[in-house]
Chains A and B, each alone.
Chain A
Amino acid sequence: MTSKGGAAPSTYTPAPPPTYKAQRPPFFTDSDADWTRSDGRGFHQCRSAFFRTGAVNSAAGSAYAEFGNTKVIVSVFGPRESKKAMMYSDKGRLNCNVSYTTFATTVHGQGSDNKEFSTMLHKALEGAVMLETFPKTTVDVFALVLESGGSDLPVVISCASLALADAGIMMYDLVAGVSVSCLGRNLIIDPILEEESFQDGSLMITCMPSHYEVTQLTITGEWSTANLNEAMQLCLDACSKLAKIMRSCLEEAASASKD
């Protein structure tokens, strides 16, 4: 295992190959099978999820999500008329934006390296939203990460689908997102920030659980087939559980408004 990534190529070695063992984070070594996660969770255990809809009054729909330290708020506006400059389209448009508060991370302004999150959010949602139900109009989805505590993007995606549901936008299904990190030989689900920064690879799945369809999948790092299949299965299971929680949150909100 030590050879992974650590082996310097024989042809180009301007510096002596660094010893990887010493560089490993103190809380984790490859051989350490008894390692426990810093928040005491099992490897395959997610953080407890908290969802609440209707967090922003002025928005057509909104949701707040809290996974451990990761706190996200998403508001949805529209559907409203698309800008004139846009070409005619018989389908609706989805405009997504993910931003970080200045205090979201410990290092000021570090959240800005997540520029691609907006496009990723868009890709994860567009397959679930019935765009043909609001032609010529745009739905804006604005996500704000209040505190970044790891697995930000999957939380944003789940929260955004809840906000869309709250806004009454027609969807095929809710979208739930879960990520898995690979640290050495271990697969850990729903990683926190600290774990993410030392991960060897990560895999994120967003899916529509009742359709059993994956809307977005990204993988980084090196994966063997067995690991990959295990990680995908873990994510999919977690997604369906997460979707249940999201569903119950919506039901609660609906019954509350009835009263």
Chain B
Amino acid sequence: MTRPSTVATLRRIGLGGITGSPVAFAVVLVLMALLLAVPFAHNGYVETTFRYILMYATMAYGWNMIGGYTGYVSFGQVAFFGIGAYCSAVLSTMKIDNLFADVALACVVAAAFAILIGLAVLQLKGHYFAIATLGVGLAVTDIVSNLDALGGTGGMNISQVDEAHFSVYYYAMWLVALGAILATYFIARSKLGYAFVAIRENEEAAAVLGINPRRYKIAAWAISATMAGAAGAVFAAANGHLEPSIAFSPDSNIFPIVMALLGGIGTVAGPFIGAVILAGVNELLQRYFVNVHTLFFGAVIVLVVLLLPRGLVWLFGLRGGARAWLKSLTVNKA
């Protein structure tokens, strides 16, 4: 439940506001349009970097649906990502190398898994839900690692297009990311979005207004799983090889969350902005602090949490300047 006092304080200094501002959406779309030009740089590394950004952004949108809009903080999104990735690998072993088929199967399987698991874990709240989802992610990793049919820890290979046509993976990821952005935008403004937010704000009160919390929580989770699964499918195809440590990497779990938080959770623009900035910061750290960049990355997270607790999107809506910002930082002091 939200503490009225906290929210009120944040409101007074301009940190509140419901999501889905058309301006934010427009900015994201413009940036997305610019990203269409990336393959023309003919630099594989730049293309891969942006493909990763789009991938993490898609996952951040996925996380945002359940964690940002519905208020259920999931640490198990990597399971859906990995499952989506393995869909590509399995299809490739069946000689089906079609990105559309990959993504379609990944979406269906990830959503089905989310619904199945959701029936159990979405009964939990708060920390318990968070831990249960973390457990789901790790358990799936462990089970896949022990399945010979999926190559065990050795993994599986996926046939790829040649270097000349490699940008097809970039565009596929771009489309998946665009799908996630548009889906988030339209869902946020729809009845569905209001059901999610109502559940986040107060599940009991939402039920009294006729919202079936269980059904809508599962819907939110299935949507978020679809996004993660689709990103995983394209990732696997572009990677050419898949094994549990890659498919279920802790990075794929934590990066999207940090990105969504940095940008602003429960917003349409936040995950994308967060993904772009975090990737940029990581890039700079890798370049200039080879030996200690992880140390700095830890420091960046600590600073973001302490100084930008509601993300950049909110910060730029702040009224009242530095003083108001400083005041917002003490809201959660014990």
Partners in one complex: no
Which positions in B face A, CB cutoff 8 Å?
A: none
